[in-house]
Each structure stands twice: as structure tokens, then as C-alpha cells.
Amino acid sequence: MKNYLVNTPEGTHDSLWDESAARRGLESSLAGIFERGGYREVRTPVLEYYELYQIARNPIPPDNMVKLTGRDGKLLVLRPDNSTPIARIAATRITDFPCRLYYAQSVYRLAGNRRGDSCELGQCGVELFGIAGYEGDAEILTLAVRALLGAGVCDFHIELGGLAAAELNKIIALLDTGTAAYMRLEPSLTQEIDYYTGMVFRAYADGAGKAVLAGGRYDKLVGDYGRDVPAVGFAVYVDEVLTIRKPSGGDGGGLRIAVTKGRLLDDTLDLLAKAGYAKPASVSDKGDRRLIHKIPDSNISLVLAKAEDVITYCERGACQLGVVGRDTLLERGGEVLELRDLSYGACKFAVAALNSTELKDVRVVASKYPNVARNFFMEQGADVDVIKIDGSVELAPILGVADAIVDIVQTGSTLKANGLQVIADVCAVSARLIANPAALRLCKDAISELLSKLAV
């Protein structure tokens, strides 16, 4: 049983001295850079009215906000972003523009809150109010580069998008050459939060699994709080910067592909062999218990892991690529990009039951994939109870624990042998090549080379 006296809530943790000192050091060097640029610090409450985030350009999905009720019965949230309350300050407390503000405070979000995902995210950022047009954009981009360099991040680039390439080039023309060198045009880039009205940008750094900084122009937001003032800003994602690390582990870096152990491994090795990558002898050696295998004469290592862990290593940036079944992707989700359908490992998700059961009669479903099962029946408009079973789920209807199962079906022989039959197909499943979104940008050349050789 969880001991609430000694555990912190999921998504939070105590920081000891080393981590605290690193965080304070990073925040104070960023604060110094911002202050030298003429920015002044503001702080906003950790508690805000839910309504603040319910404006027309609502940036945060309500389900991702930590909500609680105030003494007056009003719905409150733990601050889910910084630009919104600071836009309120600009609208209600500032009269002289342009105005330059900075902050160092956390935001709280429940998004993607799997075990290990933090719901308290440190941000240190700036907002420039009252300068419309590209001069303001250029000031902010220059400061973003200075902030990352000052934070000790060396290998990074900034993707710039949200406008046509010709417009973005006009902004780049206002930057000095040193700063411009960090920019990469990505006109189609968009941000998660939808209040941006002009250029948007995101920085990716070597060794970080996610973006380390993001920002853009949001000229309409301040107007929502009563004063029409153009605005542009960015936030440094403090936690991402603090966790930047170089891969270590004896494989000398290079490209790491996490491959699901078991059924998909042989097909993955065959695919790589067809692409001209020799099979590491150590993988076939049953006595070899190593989990990382270097492909001879290449800069690629294979990391053997369980399916769920393939996604974990990929989304945390420990492996740039992964091979995993769509079944696990659908069940677990993950902040990874699906690059290719590798075709092998083909099977399907299906609902199966004992012979006389019809789909409309199903009330209790057993599955190793409770999210897939729940989503399927929700789409059917059916209200079912889902029981999580860890393996040999065919037993559940036989033993009277469930009316039906949702499971992967390949040849159908397991179902047949146990007197079950498919009563509805859910979706097709096969192996997928996935990538860490940041790695896809940082290791573009190495990944493109691999992709061009893979014959799928």
C-alpha cells in the first residue's frame, strides 16, 4: 500500500542539494542574461482562476490542468502556463510600453502523466510587450540563443516556423550572423499551445529528449485581458536543460535503435541485413546476455528491450529510434513519432468471445490492452467494464470472468484451440519504426541515411 506519509504525489519529487543547486545556478544565470537585456522579474500566483484559461484562445486542454476549489466555491487551477498570467499583468498593471518581463516559476500539467513523468515543470522565460513586427521577434530570438549558450547548452539549433519562409527570412536578416547560424527554417512548425499569431520557434539540443526552449509571437492574448498589446516571448524548459546528458554505455554513441525482444527481433535483423547492415554475432549467441549490440562497421547499436520500454527509451531520448508493435503504441501511447510501417509482425486487434456471444451482449471485457479495449467500446457507444489480464487472456471468458476479450490475433489458432471466435475486428497491427522527435532533428543525416537504405 502506498504510504502517503513518505511518498510525494505522482509526478512530483523532493530535490536534494545537488539538484537544487543546479536548478538555482541555471535560473540565476538565465535571470542575469535576461536582466542584462533589460527584462525585469515578475511572479504570478500558483493558484489561478480556471476562467483565466477559458478565454477564446484557450491554450491548455482542461483535462491537463490540476483543478481545485477555492473557499468561494470557484474552480481554481495550479498555474498551467506562464504567458497567460503575465499577459494579464501587461493588460492590467503596465502602462509604459515596450515592456520587458521575465519569470522563473513552475507550471503544473497532468499531460502524459505516466509514472515518472513530472507534472511540475520548471520554466524560465521572457515576454516582450509592445513591439510589433520583426524587430521584436529578432530581439527575442537573439535572447533565446544567448539564454541557451549562457545555460551551457552548446549543441543546439532553433527551428523557426509559423510563417512563410520568405517572412521568416526577413526575421533572420535582422539577426547577427552568429545568432542566425542557430536557426533552421521549418515553416510548418506549430506549437502545442494555440495562442500564437506569428513566428513560433523551438530549440532542440544534443542529449535532450525533448525541446529545451519554445516560444513565439502572440499578439492577441493580452487583448483578451483588456489591452491590445503585441507580445512575443519564450520559455527555457529548465528540467530538460538540467537533464541534458551525453549517451554513455560503451557503444561509443552513434545511433541507437531500441528493438523489441521476441517476435519482432528476427524480422528487424532481416530488415537491417537487407539494408546492408551486418547482423551482430552477439545477438544470435544465446549465451551472450548483453543487451546492447553494435552493428559491425556502422555507427548503429541495437538496444534489446521489452516493447513498452522501447517507447520509454525513445521518448526519453536514450535511443533515437525504436522498433515496436502498433499494439503497444496504441495501448501505452508515447511522445514519439511513427516513421514507417515495417509491415512485419502483422496481426490484428479483435474482440473474441465464446461461440454464442454477440458484440451487443458484451458487458465485461478482459484484455492485456485495457486502453485499446476501452477506446474500442467507447467508440461503439457501449458501456463495458474492462478487466486487465496480464497474459493468456483467452482464459477469462472460459472461466466466466469476462464476456469477451480484446487481444491480438495472428493465426487465430489460440482462439480456436480455446473455443473462442472473433466477433469484431478492432484494427490492424504491425511493427512500426518510431523516433524521438528531438533526435529526428538532431540526427537528421544519420537517420535519413538509414531510412533511405531500409527497403520499406
List residues near ligand PRP by CB under 6 A: 391-392, 407-414
> Exposed, middle or buried by CB within 10 Å (0-12, 13-18, 19+), for 4?
exposed
Q: How far apart are CA 16 and CA 34, in angstroms?
A: 27
Close Cβ partners of 198 (under 8 Å, ≥ 6 residues apart): 137, 162, 163, 216, 217, 218, 219, 232
Determine contact, residues 294/251, Cβ cutoff 8 Å.
yes
Could you count the other beta carbons within 10 Å of the beta carbon of residue 9? 10
User: How many CA atoms, within 13 angstroms, populate the side-chain half-sphere of residue 97?
Assistant: 20
Residue 189 C-beta: closest distance to ligand PRP, Å: 39
- Of 26 and 405, which has the nearer Cβ to ligand PRP? 405
Identify which of residues 69 and 410 has a Cβ nearer to ligand PRP in the complex.
410
Q: Give the Cα separation of 191 and 195 in Å (integer).
A: 9
Give min distance, CB of 410 to ligand PRP, in A: 3
H or E, element range at 233: strand 231-237
Task: Considering the complex, state which of residue 250 and residue 391 has its C-beta at the smaller distance from ligand PRP.
Answer: 391
CA neighbours closer than 13 Å in the CB half-sphere of residue 101? 25
Is the CB of residue 126 less than 8 Å from the CB of residue 145? no
Q: Report yes or no: 397 and 404 within 8 Å, Cβ to Cβ.
A: yes
CA 76/CA 53 separation, integer angstroms: 10
**Which candidate, 447, 423, 422, places its Cα nearest to that of 434?**
447
Q: Among residues 24 and 416, whose Cβ is nearest to ligand PRP?
A: 416
> Cell for 25?
545556478
| Amino acid code (one letter) for 74 | K
Rounded to a whole number of angstroms, the minimum distance from the CB of residue 411 to ligand PRP is 3
Closest separation between CB of residue 418 and ligand PRP, Å?
A: 9
Instruction: Specify whether the CB–CB gap between 153 and 241 falls below 8 A.
Output: yes
The amino acid sitting at 326 is R
Task: Determine the Cα–Cα distance for residues 202 and 234; give it in Å rounded to an integer.
Answer: 9
Closer residue to ligand PRP in complex, CB, 249/262: 262
Q: Which is nearer to ligand PRP, 127 or 327 (CB)?
A: 327
In one letter, which amino acid is 444? K
Rounded Cα distance between 251 and 225, Å, is: 54
Q: How far is CA 429 from the centre of its chain?
A: 22
Q: How far is the CB of 285 from ligand PRP (least distance, A)?
A: 24
Q: How far is the CB of 78 from ligand PRP (least distance, A)?
A: 39
Residue number with CB closer to ligand PRP (200 or 307): 307
Instruction: Give the nearer residue to ligand PRP in terms of CB position, either 295 or 429.
Output: 429
Query: What is the closest distance, in whole angstroms, from the C-beta atom of residue 314 to ligand PRP in the complex?
Result: 21
- Residue whose CB is less far from ligand PRP, 355 or 411: 411
Least separation in angstroms between residue 365's CB and ligand PRP is: 14
Least Cβ distance, residue 323 to ligand PRP (angstroms)? 16
Q: Copy the grid coordinates of residue 438.
A: 528531438
Nearer to ligand PRP, 76 or 305 (CB): 305
* Shortest CB 415 distance to ligand PRP, Å: 6
Q: Is the distance from CB of 354 to CB of 426 less than 8 angstroms? A: no
